[in-house]
Amino acid sequence: MMEASEREVYRAAIHGDREAFEMIIRSQSRPLFAIAYGILQNREEAEDTVQDALVKAWKSRWRVRDPEKFPAWLCMIARHCARDVFRKHRTVPLSKMPEIPGSERPQTTIIDRHLDSALASLPELHRAAISLRYFEEMDYATIENRLGLTNGSLRGILGRALASMRKQLKPALASEQS
Amino acid sequence: MKIHDEIDNYLAADLHSDLSDEEQNALHAHLVECASCRQAHQESKIMNSVLEEKFANEKPDAAFEQRMLAEFRNRIPQKNGSVAKFIVDLMRLRATQVAAVAAVLLALVQVGRMITGEGAIRRNELANSVDLYQRSAATQSSNGRTEADADFKTEQRAKLAKADALQPGRELNNQKRPAKAAQFSDASIAPAAPNSVTGGVAGRMATLAPPAAQPTAEEQQSKDENELHEMASTSVPAVAAPPALANRKLIRNATVDLEIVSFDDARQKITAFANEDRGYIATTRSEKQANGKLKGQIVVKVLPENLDRFLQKLRGLGELKNQTLGTEDITKAYFDTDARLKNARVMEQRLVEMLKRKSDDINDLLQVEKELGRVREQIEQMQGELKFWDSQVQFATVTISLAEKDMEEPAKFLLKERAQLALYTPEVEKVYNDLKALASPKVQITNAQLDRDNTGRVSARVSMLIAPEESDGVISKAKAMGRVENFQVQTERVAQGGEGMSENAKTKRDKVELNISISRDEQEQAFQQTTLRVRTSAVDEKAKKLRDLAGKQGGRVRTSSFSRDPDGREYANVTLRVPMKNYNALIQSLDSLGKVENVSVQRQNRSGGQIDEANAPADLSIQVYSQGNIVSSDTGLIATLRRTISQSAGAIMWSLRMIGVAIAFLAPWVIALVGIIWLARRIRSRRS
């Protein structure tokens, strides 16, 4: 349950209060960025996606009837947008991403590159969950709410995701440790 | 096993601290058992830290929300048209007409609020962005990133990059990367972040190694717009750093506590290790404990660069109990003193020149001489200090505390015996004096007391300490003095000079503490109590015989009573005390007295101690009784006759009494009647 004041803000935003919506932008754009980044693995694209998602949300805000569901709905829009961008632009496999000019810092280490490819091999929902967890340090219940998951299913998702990454990264981690 | 199958989920939730306390405990219990899960746990911890590091690097910067807002405002400008759309939106939301009207009213209010409130926000925003713009312009000379990009979006990104440059501390956690060097250079020309650690380090480096820092600054100033160039320049301080570090004056010392098997072995090995690492043993000290174990301390000096290797070797010697490793940075103090020393030398030079000039004034000369002495003393002191520091820096000090295993083992054991003896005797005082007479150098009486209470009962207590070799003899002598009621020996083994077990320690007997209490045997409680009845015809005679029997069996009559009731029944109550060994014989002999009835036996089992059962007293309380006259005096023929006669006499007396009463009742009437008749006759006779 969200607090009454928070709910009031969401209600006002649904009813077209621009100030309220801007307040929501301030508080929610980081989780949205986390989701977009999780799917796209690229900061610039993720930022643009968040922008698109916010504009889309403002335009179709009247569709939400329950203020409680507003944050989850925002996250859904962000996920859709990110997925669209991903399908449109991504023809290059992610493992070659570091070569794309201006995308990442050029001086990424081997382990970072391995990490990127391991992340890329995960399903997009798992990536979004991971980045919400590591960017925003959200607790499990909030992440489940935002991603529209049933209660308790996140543990399984994160468990599988981390396990599969662990298996892929095993050699790289071992080399870094030694 | 549930956890084992779902270990991945548990591990992830554990890393993200989403486990309940129960689950956490269960997981940890499982990890202790299962090696493969433990491995997975370790790996996921490493990966978690890698992930955290990566995402921390990719986190949006502080101005992220501002950019989002600005872009949003840019793309959705405030227009009149939006009000119309707003109303349409609301119309869709509210189905009923009334609600629509209310919504329109609300919208109007909102619009009014927005128009007034919006202006203020806009102005703020404008000022903000102007400020941002100015700041970006100010740093453009050093950062020099975008000149041609007029596009709004890319300009925002330039601000982001600049903000990164202004916050070198933000990247502090990725120290493995060469980017660290770039921070150093950034911080040295941007003192805007004085609190940042890297800034401080770079500042110190600049003072320590001025020739290294100089080119960096020049490089920074002449930096052009090329990013790659910036990358190249950062490598300069990175190379310059190690010599600056080598110039550091660091005192390293370590303390190690080891538990070893043999002290001498360990000392030899440490000597060998020290020689290998080009060090030496400074002091050794050892101390022998009471239980023969050695304990000591060795101070070793080794070259600082070999310290870690040396400590590693030490671990092989025995069990490591404790280890501390400390480093003291005296760089600043050292160079301060060095500089002061140089100043003092110059001063000395000047004073010497002054003396050479040969002034006439003797006072001046004395003054200069005095000053020169003071300065020279200072110089020597500082030289000494520097030399001391040099020696400290040159060698690292390792203090090794060694203790042999089982340090706590006791040296010997002391066997302490404590005996309690309770005696019963008819003559308390005699035994008391006999016991006191046992005193000798090896038998010491520590306490002796004789009590007599109001009722004349006597009891005594004697405590003595007996040398171990005498103890058995004295105790058996004391036991022979009376009837032993209770004898208890308590033995305690006390470790000396340590605790726990020891295979080698000797056991020694200590003095025996003996406490004897003496009481009169009457006071003793019977070991067994018997009550019985004997039916016989001649009570008095049989009671006498019973007393004789008891005397024969070594018993003593305690009470005896005789009574006879009106019906001719006779009772003799006798209580006896006999030793237990004669009890059975006495009971057997009772059969000769008459018929034994109602035997009840109560035995008191006394806890603890050794009881001399054969001599323990048994109490008997015997009632000898006769049945008396079978027919009582109130029954029988004579008694019936007597009763009949007395009752008939009573009846006659009663009827006589009744007749008397009747006469007394009738007499007045008869007299009155006779009188009337007599009068009538007289009247008739007179008429006739």
Do B660 and B615 share a domain, yes or no? no
Q: Within 13 Å of residue B157, how many CA atoms lie on the same side as its CB?
A: 16
| Residue B98 Cα, gap to closest chain A Cα (Å) | 17
Last residue of one domain, picked from the residues B522, B548, B570? B522
> Which residues of chain A does B40 touch, with a Cβ-Cβ cutoff of 8 Å?
163, 166
Find the residue in A nearest to B93 (Cα). Answer: A62
| Residue A47 Cα, gap to closest chain B Cα (Å) | 8
pLDDT confidence band for A123 (50 / 70 / 90): confident
Closest CA to B559 of B541, B574, B577, B543: B574
Do B518 and B530 share a domain, yes or no? no
Do B416 and B483 share a domain, yes or no? yes
Note whether residue B551 is domain-resident: yes
Beta strand B617-625 pairing with B528-535: parallel
Do B594 and B487 share a domain, yes or no? no
Note whether residue B165 is domain-resident: yes
H/E element, B157:
helix B152-166
Could B55 and A131 be called an inter-chain contact, meaning their C-beta atoms sit closer than 8 Å?
yes
How many Cβ atoms sit within 10 Å of the Cβ of residue B298?
23
| HEC sequence for B523-580 | HCCCCEEEEEEEECCCHHHHHHHHHHHHHHCCCEEEEEEEEECCCCCEEEEEEEEEEH
Do B91 and B239 share a domain, yes or no? yes
Domains of chain A: 4-177 (1.10.1740.10)
Last residue of one domain, picked from the residues B206, B221, B246? B246
Could B13 and A155 be called an inter-chain contact, meaning their C-beta atoms sit closer than 8 Å?
yes
> Which residues of chain B does A30 touch, with a Cβ-Cβ cutoff of 8 Å?
60, 64-65
pLDDT given for residue B656 in this prediction:
96
Residue B620 belongs to domain with CATH number = 3.30.70
Do B485 and B515 share a domain, yes or no? yes
pLDDT given for residue B89 in this prediction:
57
Note whether residue B631 is domain-resident: no
Note whether residue B633 is domain-resident: no
> Which residues of chain B does A173 touch, with a Cβ-Cβ cutoff of 8 Å?
43, 46-47, 50
Do B101 and B170 share a domain, yes or no? yes
Cβ–Cβ under 8 Å, residues A65 and A23: no
Do B416 and B507 share a domain, yes or no? yes
Note whether residue B73 is domain-resident: yes
A165 touches chain B (CB under 8 A): yes
Burial of residue B420 (number of CB atoms within 10 Å: 0-12, 13-18, 19+) = middle
Note whether residue B348 is domain-resident: no
**How much is the ipTM here?**
0.80
Could B71 and A51 be called an inter-chain contact, meaning their C-beta atoms sit closer than 8 Å?
yes
Do B469 and B543 share a domain, yes or no? no
Closest CA to B505 of B576, B572, B438, B413: B413
| HEC sequence for chain A | CCCHHHHHHHHHHHCCCHHHHHHHHHHHHHHHHHHHHHHHCCHHHHHHHHHHHHHHHHHCHHHCCCHHHHHHHHHHHHHHHHHHHHHHHCCCCHHHHHHCCCCCCCCCCHHHHHHHHHHHCCCHHHHHHHHHHHHHCCCHHHHHHHCCCCCCHHHHHHHHHHHHHHHHHHHHHHHHHC
Counting as low any pLDDT under 50, the low residues of chain B are: 119-120, 141-153, 158, 163-244, 609
Among B44, B67, B72, the residue to mutate for chain A (most A Cβ within 10 A): B72
Note whether residue B237 is domain-resident: yes
A96 touches chain B (CB under 8 A): no
pLDDT given for residue A26 in this prediction:
86
Could A161 and B60 be called an inter-chain contact, meaning their C-beta atoms sit closer than 8 Å?
no
The number of distinct structural domains making up chain B is 5
Could A159 and B11 be called an inter-chain contact, meaning their C-beta atoms sit closer than 8 Å?
yes
> What would the mean pLDDT of A141-165 be, rounded to a whole number?
86
Do B158 and B141 share a domain, yes or no? yes
> Which residues of chain A does B90 touch, with a Cβ-Cβ cutoff of 8 Å?
15-16, 62
Find the residue in B nearest to A157 (Cα). Answer: B9
Average pLDDT value over all residues in chain A: 80
Among A47, A81, A175, the residue to mutate for chain B (most B Cβ within 10 A): A47
Do B98 and B205 share a domain, yes or no? yes
Do B435 and B581 share a domain, yes or no? no
Could B12 and A161 be called an inter-chain contact, meaning their C-beta atoms sit closer than 8 Å?
yes
Sign of CA pseudo-dihedral B580, B582, B585, B590: negative
> Which residues of chain B does A159 touch, with a Cβ-Cβ cutoff of 8 Å?
6, 8-13
Note whether residue B398 is domain-resident: no
Inter-chain contacts counted by CB atoms under 8 A, chains A and B: 131
Range of the domain at B197: 64-246
